[in-house]
Chain A
Amino acid sequence: MANQDFPLIFEHSQESRTGFSLPEMDVPEVDLTDMFDERYIRETEADLPEVSELQIMRHYTALSTRNHGVDSGFYPLGSCTMKYNPKMNEDIARLAGFSHIHPYQDEETIQGALELMYDLQTSLAEITGMHTVTLQPAAGAHGEWTGLMMIRAFHEANGDFGRTKVIVPDSAHGTNPASATVAGFEAVTVKSDDRGLVDLEDLKRVVGEDTAALMLTNPNTLGLFEEHILEMAEIIHDAGGKLYYDGANLNAILGYARPGDMGFDVVHLNLHKTFTGPHGGGGPGSGPVGVTEEFAAYLPKPVLIKKGEQYGFDYDRPKSIGRVKPYYGNFGINVRAYTYIRTMGAEGLKKVSEYAVLNANYMMRRLEKEFDLPFSQHCKHEFVLSGKRQKKLGVRTLDIAKRLLDFGYHPPTIYFPLNVEEALMVEPTETESKETLDAFVDAMIQISNEAKEDPEIVQEAPHTTVVSRMDETTAARKPVLRYNKGS
């Protein structure tokens, strides 16, 4: 079957073929053997592919056609906010004055970049209702860790070394407990109640003198707004803990509610979700962190400030948690997010959430007739269905997801959150038209009917993709993580 294998770039390689055009060596070459001990010179060359420019373009163009992005089709991957990535943002980020500037240039020579960053952090502070925002964290999980390290520094500065636990709901993203561990805390779980919200009684049970913080996504990963947020804030704050906001789902509440007004002390945002930084096949992202005034002193170094009409970095931050990343964050992604915010303004951002929520509720009401809906109240920007009913017919959620591929859709997030059996988490976003939503719902209904009448077509899906289901067990049991010539 090897002739059906799609070639690797290495398999196009031929000795001495070139795809490069290097600047010429216009200085007299000198013998380096005096300088370089031969132990420090490579004996065997790094075996990179030797291919022509056209071969490169054909290879990667062919690879791109074996990949599904938002521009390829609907991508309702819950909790990931796969909205349209504006093309203008890409153009702005590529301007030489933004893409070809060096982080160690004199501040006077990069005032344009600093002005953009300052205006972005000020805008994000306003959108979230926080006092100050740092743009340094590279992604959401990095922001979580940054925020938790600040909470830790805050408690320790108060002589409070006994706060070793971070509470996370059972519906939380995996990054929440993982970030708690990396920051040196122990993660403890609080249960959800039968309406899919944090169980206040259980929260009261787990909170205590050892509570450093509660991490919360609101709306939560079920797409439900935590209605008792003020009571929760009170429970945590009364115990001396702090409230951490995971901004993964901010797309639901822009201009409708702000984490700062709900009592959150530290907030991270995913600019690659809500603010259209493209997901890039897995990154790069950007995960700014906003804080209340009492946390400002702990922000990572350096802090961008405005002195008169000049922008500059402040390194004199004795209480800072230190550096979390070299340089100043993922500036290129921040430029894209800024361009988006400036395109939309307050009016546009509020409409974003209005339509994100309207779209999700519309789909949910159309789908609840065919699929189990564990929580029936209005949702926010996403909703979670259960494939229980189909499972009884021998069709698992995984099968439904694979069958959706045949219709040209990226499936919803599956088997998450963990507190819903056979979960299917759908997030349409606001950038999709009603025609697209209807077509997807129709496909889901068709699949539900197939599960009843012709389950095999679902169980054996996908039928139209360039490869069929993969043997993931062998991949993990006998890992092949790189190409080896001749193997």
Chain B
Amino acid sequence: MEFRYLPMTEKDKQEMLDTIGINKTEELFEDIPEKVRFKGELGIKPPSNEYKLTKELTELANKNVNLKSHTSFLGAGVYDHYIPSVVDHVISRSEFYTAYTPYQPEISQGELQAIFEFQTMICELTAMDVANSSMYDGGTALAEAVNLSAGTTRKKKVIVSSTVHPESRAVIQSYANGPGVEIIEIGHENGVTDLKALAAELDENTAGVVLQYPNFFGQIEPLAEVRELLDTQKKAMMIVSSNPLALGYMNPPGEFGADIVVGDAQVFGIPAQFGGPHCGYFATTKKLMRKVPGRLVGQTKDEQGRRGFVLTLQAREQHIRRDKATSNICSNQALNALASSVAMSSLGKQGVKKMAWTNIQKTAYMKKALEDNGVNVAYTGPFFNELVINLGNDVQNANKKLLEKGFIGGYDLGASYNELAGHMLIAVTEVRTKDEIDNFAQELGDING
């Protein structure tokens, strides 16, 4: 079998063995103890040629119902959005995707500057002072924020709203088990955080309060009221997870005095791809700059005085500080941060606002269409691009019927909220048309009826 990724010829090999002074390559493996040397052949599928394997994997991909073959109203943290063509053309430049972390600034200015621009765009959207170069995803970014708040305030209790994405809450819990941070979950009322419950839990032992804005139900959390509550416990940090697209229209958490704002930039130029890789972002106040996990790019000058960029404040990081680092993160999501930067550059100041506005308007239209079809929309507050409906019956069954009509239906809230059995979470982004919304609402009305 030929292997097109392996360039050595037999002649090369012989010359190299001669230089090393051995007869065969096996001699180079003699330091592996006889007892642990693997003798057989690995029991995996045989090698395959490019044409045959492409055909096979294309067939495998075709087994999946996808967001292009069907009309999707599924969101719940992962969204189907307009992706400008330029995005994939830029991230397919192999100078970007075949590079690693820009440790050598002289030959990595492209990556470093792209990240610096990404940091700036995230600061603009969130109204925060500092943003890092990316995190794995919104969920782990939030978990890191929780541990940062506990570490910085030296308090062990963090209050998390139940309107935060259920999987992010699960990740927060797993991460909190390391340093032993106590996570207190509080309930929801009319689709937003129960402020009375928050007031009751908030005390001098509280390191931070975690909210999602817009929240998992698509509702707009009352950050202004939350801020007032937090002003009674000034040490407790306000940690907000935000869909950055929503912040094109909505007042950003930074304007409410948030200490840490995190989220996922998947909405900007990154396909759903079964949940990953996406692109977490992590933004803070200047005060927390030296506590931020992960990489930061800073501006400086070279010996000739030309502007340039470097990885900076590295004394926070694992490769310098080892066990005293602010986080263990090393690899991040740089290429996806680049994708998001390109998408944000395409949208620009006007486009991001227009796209956010279109999401709200189309969702408002969906709400009306559903109500016109006799479907019960659960909450009365302001929303971004998601709605909760009360079907009163089996959501999975409804989704099966919708699939037959070419729709990917909503998220079954009963799977993560006992009190919301029979409720479906529906997302309406800018890519959905009026006809699609009308037809979907009508189908749901029929199923409901």
Measured CA separation A365–B89 after assembly (Å): 42
Least CB distance, B433 to chain A, in whole angstroms: 6
Q: Which of B200-208, B229-237, B248-256, B386-394 contacts A (4 or more CB under 8 A)?
A: B248-256
Instruction: Kindly list chain A residues whose C-beta atoms are within 8 Å of the C-beta of B419.
Output: none
Contact: B113 with A66, CB < 8 Å?
yes
Measured CA separation A41–B43 after assembly (Å): 59
Contact with B along A291-332 (1 / 0, CB 8 A): 000000000110000000000000000000111111111111
Q: Does B406 contact A (CB under 8 A)?
A: no
- Sample 18 A-B pairs with CB under 8 A, ordered by A number: A9-B345, A16-B350, A25-B358, A67-B109, A68-B107, A101-B272, A139-B332, A141-B318, A186-B323, A256-B32, A280-B99, A284-B277, A332-B274, A342-B53, A348-B47, A355-B8, A467-B302, A475-B312
Contact: B303 with A23, CB < 8 Å?
no
Contact with A along B36-63 (1 / 0, CB 8 A): 1110011111111010011001101111
Least CB distance, B126 to chain A, in whole angstroms: 9
Instruction: Determine which of B50, B274, B396 lies in contact with A331 in the assembled complex, contact meaning CB atoms within 8 Å.
Output: B274
Q: Which of A42-50, A384-392, A444-452 contacts B (4 or more CB under 8 A)?
A: A42-50
Contact: B251 with A41, CB < 8 Å?
yes
Measured CA separation A466–B58 after assembly (Å): 42
Instruction: Kindly list chain B residues whose C-beta atoms are within 8 Å of the C-beta of A109.
Output: 64-65, 403, 408
Measured CA separation A51–B342 after assembly (Å): 11
Q: A115-B60, A343-B53, A362-B16 are in contact. Are A4 and B333 (CB under 8 A)?
A: no
Q: Does A378 contact B (CB under 8 A)?
A: yes
Instruction: Kindly list chain A residues whose C-beta atoms are within 8 Å of the C-beta of B323.
Output: 177-178, 180-181, 186-187
Q: A67-B107, A282-B334, A323-B167 are in contact. Are A471 and B53 (CB under 8 A)?
A: no
Q: Does B157 contact A (CB under 8 A)?
A: no
Given A66-B109, A69-B99, A352-B6, 10 more pairs with CB closer than 8 A: A90-B97, A99-B272, A110-B65, A256-B38, A281-B115, A326-B167, A344-B47, A348-B47, A430-B5, A467-B302
Instruction: Kindly list chain B residues whose C-beta atoms are within 8 Å of the C-beta of A85.
Output: 94, 97-98
Q: Does A205 contact B (CB under 8 A)?
A: no
Instruction: Kindly list chain B residues whose C-beta atoms are within 8 Å of the C-beta of A84.
Output: 5
Q: Does A376 contact B (CB under 8 A)?
A: no
Contact: B6 with A351, CB < 8 Å?
yes
Contact: A230 with B35, CB < 8 Å?
yes
Q: Does B352 contact A (CB under 8 A)?
A: yes
Q: Does B307 contact A (CB under 8 A)?
A: yes
Contact: B53 with A47, CB < 8 Å?
no
Q: Which residue of B lies closest to A19 (CB)?
A: B346
Contact: A50 with B348, CB < 8 Å?
yes
Q: A41-B250, A253-B32 are in contact. Are A342 and B434 (CB under 8 A)?
A: no
Instruction: Determine which of A66, A225, A365, A401 lies in contact with B19 in the assembled complex, contact meaning CB atoms within 8 Å.
Output: A365
Contact with A along B109-138 (1 / 0, CB 8 A): 111011111011101110001110110111
Contact with B along A355-378 (1 / 0, CB 8 A): 101110110011000000000011
Instruction: Determine which of A42, A47, A323 lies in contact with B251 in the assembled complex, contact meaning CB atoms within 8 Å.
Output: A42
Most buried by A among B43, B67, B305, B350: B350
Q: Does B447 contact A (CB under 8 A)?
A: no
Contact: B110 with A144, CB < 8 Å?
no
Instruction: Kindly list chain B residues whose C-beta atoms are within 8 Å of the C-beta of A163.
Output: none
Contact: B382 with A40, CB < 8 Å?
yes
Contact: B305 with A149, CB < 8 Å?
no
Tell me the chain B residues, 295-321 only, with Cβ under 8 Å from chain A: 295-310, 312-315, 317-321
Q: Which residue of B lies closest to A414 (CB)?
A: B103
Contact: B119 with A482, CB < 8 Å?
yes
Instruction: Determine which of B100, B136, B273, B315 lies in contact with A279 in the assembled complex, contact meaning CB atoms within 8 Å.
Output: B100
Tell me the chain A residues, 69-116 only, with Cβ under 8 Å from chain B: 69-72, 75, 77, 80, 82-86, 88, 90-106, 109-113, 115-116
Q: Does B338 contact A (CB under 8 A)?
A: yes
Contact: A278 with B110, CB < 8 Å?
no
Contact: B249 with A41, CB < 8 Å?
yes
Least CB distance, B3 to chain A, in whole angstroms: 5
Measured CA separation A280–B46 after assembly (Å): 28
Measured CA separation A28–B65 after assembly (Å): 31
Tell me the chain A residues, 46-70 only, with Cβ under 8 Å from chain B: 46-51, 53, 56-57, 59-70
Q: Does B376 contact A (CB under 8 A)?
A: no
Measured CA separation A188–B211 after assembly (Å): 37
Instruction: Determine which of A53, A184, A333 lies in contact with B178 in the assembled complex, contact meaning CB atoms within 8 Å.
Output: A184
Most buried by A among B42, B69, B306, B335: B42
Q: Which residue of A lies closest to B92 (CB)?
A: A90
Q: Which residue of A lies closest to B336 (CB)?
A: A284
Secondary structure at the A interface, as helix, strand, loop or mixed, is loop
Contact with B along A261-288 (1 / 0, CB 8 A): 1100000001010000011111111100
Measured CA separation A229–B33 after assembly (Å): 8
Measured CA separation A401–B108 after assembly (Å): 14
Q: Does B104 contact A (CB under 8 A)?
A: yes
Least CB distance, B381 to chain A, in whole angstroms: 8
Instruction: Determine which of B64, B177, B433 lies in contact with A184 in the assembled complex, contact meaning CB atoms within 8 Å.
Output: B177
Contact: A96 with B61, CB < 8 Å?
yes
Contact: A332 with B66, CB < 8 Å?
no
Contact: A256 with B65, CB < 8 Å?
no
Instruction: Kindly list chain A residues whose C-beta atoms are within 8 Å of the C-beta of B168.
Output: 326
Contact: B100 with A475, CB < 8 Å?
no
Q: How large is the interface on B (under 10, 10 to 19, 20 to 34, 35 or more residues)?
A: 35 or more
Contact: A468 with B328, CB < 8 Å?
no
Instruction: Kindly list chain B residues whose C-beta atoms are within 8 Å of the C-beta of A60.
Output: 86, 90, 93, 114, 338, 342
Contact: A475 with B334, CB < 8 Å?
no
Contact: A95 with B45, CB < 8 Å?
no
Contact: A349 with B318, CB < 8 Å?
no
Count, chain A residues at interface, CB 8 A: 208
Measured CA separation A17–B124 after assembly (Å): 18
Instruction: Kindly list chain B residues whose C-beta atoms are within 8 Å of the C-beta of A142.
Output: 136, 140, 328-329
Tell me the chain A residues, 173-214 only, with Cβ under 8 Å from chain B: 173-175, 177-184, 186-187
Instruction: Determine which of B72, B89, B306, B333 lies in contact with A57 in the assembled complex, contact meaning CB atoms within 8 Å.
Output: B89
Contact: B328 with A179, CB < 8 Å?
yes
Least CB distance, B152 to chain A, in whole angstroms: 15
Instruction: Kindly list chain A residues whose C-beta atoms are within 8 Å of the C-beta of B173.
Output: 322-323
Contact: B74 with A102, CB < 8 Å?
yes
Contact: A281 with B328, CB < 8 Å?
no
Instruction: Determine which of A28, A123, A341 lies in contact with B365 in the assembled complex, contact meaning CB atoms within 8 Å.
Output: A28
Least CB distance, B156 to chain A, in whole angstroms: 13
Tell me the chain A residues, 119-145 only, with Cβ under 8 Å from chain B: 119, 123, 126-127, 129, 138-142, 144-145
Q: Does B411 contact A (CB under 8 A)?
A: yes
Contact: A13 with B348, CB < 8 Å?
yes
Contact: B42 with A63, CB < 8 Å?
no
Which 10 pairs across A and B sit closest by C-beta, in order of nearness?
Answer: A327-B275, A97-B61, A280-B335, A112-B63, A67-B110, A345-B47, A103-B275, A282-B334, A69-B98, A284-B277
Contact with B along A1-41 (1 / 0, CB 8 A): 11011101110010011111111011111101001110111
Q: Does B199 contact A (CB under 8 A)?
A: no
Least CB distance, A45 to chain B, in whole angstroms: 5
Measured CA separation A371–B408 after assembly (Å): 62
Contact: A378 with B28, CB < 8 Å?
yes
Q: Which residue of B lies closest to A346 (CB)?
A: B42
Least CB distance, A167 to chain B, in whole angstroms: 12
Instruction: Kindly list chain B residues whose C-beta atoms are within 8 Å of the C-beta of A300.
Output: 174
Contact: A474 with B273, CB < 8 Å?
no
Least CB distance, A214 to chain B, in whole angstroms: 15
Q: A6-B113, A60-B93 are in contact. Are A479 and B312 (CB under 8 A)?
A: yes
Contact: B331 with A282, CB < 8 Å?
yes
Instruction: Kindly list chain A residues whose C-beta atoms are within 8 Å of the C-beta of B314.
Output: 476
Q: Which residue of A lies closest to B139 (CB)?
A: A326
Measured CA separation A23–B358 after assembly (Å): 9
Contact: B6 with A64, CB < 8 Å?
no
